[in-house]
Amino acid sequence: MTNEKPYRPNVGIALFHADGRVLIGHRFKGDGPEIILPGLDWQMPQGGVDEGEVLRDAAMRELWEETSVVSADYLGETDWLTYEFPPYDGPQTHRLAKFRGQRQKWFALRFTGKDDEIDPLTPRNGQPAEFDAWRWERLDRVADVVVPFRREVYRAVAQQFSPFAS
C-alpha cells in the first residue's frame, strides 16, 4: 500500500554562531504527528512554505517567527530532503494530518546579532511559540537530540553544512 498524502513543503534553518555551533530550540510537548520523546525534544528552526513564497524568504520568516532573529547572513542551502511522519491516529483537523511527511530545503545562515536578540517565547506573526528554551549546540550532535524520524535529514544537513561549523 502506498501513502497517497503529499509531502508538506518546508524550510529548515541551521543558524550558525561565530564559533560554529548552531541554534536549537526545545519543543513544547503535545504536537500531534511530530511526537516529542523525552530527551529527543530539540530541533533547529523549521516551518512551512506559503503558496508562492520564495524559499529563502520563507527561511528568514520562519527564523523570525520561531526565534525573533533577523540578524543573519546567507551561507548556503541543501537540495530537497524528505522525511516521513510516524503513524498518526489523532484528530484529522491537526495542521499536519493531511501530509505524509515533509519535503525540506535547509538554509545555512550566520548569526550576526547578539544572544539577547533570541526570544523563542514571544508569539510572532499570529503563530504560537514552538520552543520554550534554546541553546547553541555542535552541529554534529544535533541529530542525537531530535526525534528519530528526523535523524537522517539532520545527519545529511550536518554533513553538507560541516564547512560552516568550523
The full DSSP string for 112-161 is -S-GGG--SSS-BTTBPP-EEEEEEE-GGGGGGGS-GGGHHHHHHHHHHH
Half-sphere exposure of 77 (CA within 13 A, CB side): 17
pLDDT at 54 over 80: yes
pLDDT digits (tens, 9 = 90+) for 118-152: 999 999 999 889 999 999 999 999 999 999 999 99
Pairing of strands 22-27, 42-43: antiparallel
Give me the pLDDT at residue 117, please.
98
CATH of domain 7-87+95-164: 3.90.79.10
Averaged over 105-130, what is the pLDDT?
Answer: 95
From CA 166, how far away is CA 161, in angstroms rounded?
Answer: 10
26-43, pLDDT tens digit by residue? Answer: 998 765 556 677 788 999
pTM of the model: 0.93
With 90 as the cut, is the pLDDT of residue 90 above it? no
Q: Distance between CA 155 and CA 133 in Å, rounded?
A: 23
- What pLDDT band is residue 94 in, cutting at 50, 70 and 90? confident
Residue given cell 555551533 in the structure block: 21
Q: In which band, very low, low, confident or very high, does the pLDDT at 2 lie, cut at 50, 70 and 90?
A: low
pLDDT at 22: 98
Instruction: Compare 123 and 90 and report the one with higher pLDDT.
Output: 123
Residue 31 has a pLDDT of 57
Burial of 145 (0-12, 13-18, 19+ CB in 10 A): middle
